[in-house]
Amino acid sequence: MQFDFNGKTAIVTGAGSGIGAAISRDLARFGATVVLADLDESGMATVAGEITSAGGKALTQRADTSAAADVERLVTFAVEQTGALHLLVNNAGIGGPAAPVGEYPLDGWHKVIDVNLNGVFYGMRYALPEIVKAGGGSVVNMASILGTVGFATASAYVAAKHAVVGLTKAAAIEYAKSNVRVNAIGPGFIATPLLDKNLDEATLGVIAGMHPVGRLGKAEEVSALACFLLSEQASFVTGSYHLVDGGYTAQ
Ligand code: NAP
């Protein structure tokens, strides 16, 4: 697949690892100036280094997406450094505690909602006015298959990801006339550090088998869809939720 992001600036959150790193590398490969944002400064520096050694353009900014002031600063940084903002990937996310609803830790609930839902709102809250000023662009919000189906012991994650799908639809309707498209992606289980941090190897094997294709997805397979949605090739695609899940939700 070939895309043209020359002259475009993109913010990618959670860019120091997994899916966000893959999207950042691909956007840069296709010509975008990528502003990488993450809590993990060393992961982010590694990805930025890979991009610049390959001849691409990358800037980094530490930002906690669950803190509105950090996200506002991130958007200001991107615009000041590059002149305009066209593309936003609200990708940063965490797994959170595993427990049934009746025992779910309250602090864990708030943390997951803060990062996985409020962070996506803050991203759009501060970036959309700038994208409009630039004449339009595209936003991708990273939901999950758990934005459409449930998963035992992951209520906060499931609730946040369902909400991201709704938030995406509302924003898409509001900004369609301003030439900004807003879409959500629903990956199945993707082999990234997020899974390694939360699940043991035996559980990962079981989960891989829950996908009809019989394996976990790859970050690059999610990035291919994100790049399409961010590109001009997707000019009539907005307000939708797009699965990349090896058939998981077709069952
Ligand atoms: P990952 O490898 O853990 O990468 C996520 C990155 O986001 C990490 O560098 C993490 O830093 C960073 N981050 C976490 N909280 C942040 C915050 N508040 N502010 C800024 N950065 C923050 O995860 P991934 O698998 O690539 O997941 C990326 C997105 O895809 C998430 O939204 C996730 O929910 C979604 N997703 C993943 C899967 C999957 O199976 N992997 C499936 C569906 C959807 P730290 O390492 O320091 O926390």
Task: Please name each of the domains of the chain with its CATH number.
Answer: 9-244 (3.40.50.720)
177 C-alpha vs ligand 1 centroid, how far in Å?
31
Q: Which residues contact 115 (CB under 8 A, 6 or more apart)?
A: 65, 66, 92, 93, 94
Residue nearest to atom 23 of ligand 1 (CA): 194
**What pLDDT sits at residue 126?**
99
Provide the pLDDT confidence category of residue 1 given band limits of 50, 70 and 90.
confident
Q: What is the pLDDT of residues 204-222, one digit of tens each?
A: 999 999 999 999 999 999 9
Atom of ligand 1 nearest to the CA of 193: 2
Mean pLDDT calculated for residue range 15-34: 98
Q: What is the pLDDT of residue 198?
A: 84
- 157 counts as catalytic: yes
pLDDT (average), residues 133-138: 98
Cross-strand partners of 154: 99
Residues 87, 223, 94: CA angle, nearest 5 degrees? 85
| Token duo for residue 72 | 């506002």
How many Å apart are CA 14 and CA 37, to the nearest integer? 6
- Which is the closest atom of ligand 1 to the Cα of 64? 19
The residue annotated as part of the active site, out of 157, 175, 241, 248, is 157
161-205 pLDDT, tens per residue? 999 999 999 999 999 999 999 999 999 999 999 998 888 999 999
Task: Give residue ranges with CB within 6 A of ligand 1.
Answer: 13-14, 16-20, 38-40, 43, 63-66, 91-94, 115, 119, 142, 144, 187, 189-190, 192-195
- What's the confidence (pLDDT) of residue 38? 98
For tokens 């990234």, name the residue. Answer: 192
* Phi-psi region at 141: left, alpha or beta (left = phi > 0; alpha = psi -120 to 50): beta
Ligand 1 pocket test, pick from 192, 195, 215, 244 with the greatest ligand atom count within 8 Å of Cβ, gives: 192
pLDDT at 64: 98
Phi, psi (rounded to 5 degrees) for 200: -80, 170
Q: Tell me what the mean pLDDT of segment 212-239 comes to.
A: 98
pLDDT digits (tens, 9 = 90+) for 54-85: 999 999 999 999 999 999 999 999 999 999 99
Residue 157 alpha carbon, nearest atom of ligand 1 = 34
Q: Do residues 53 and 159 lie in contact, with contact meaning Cβ atoms separated by under 8 Å? A: no
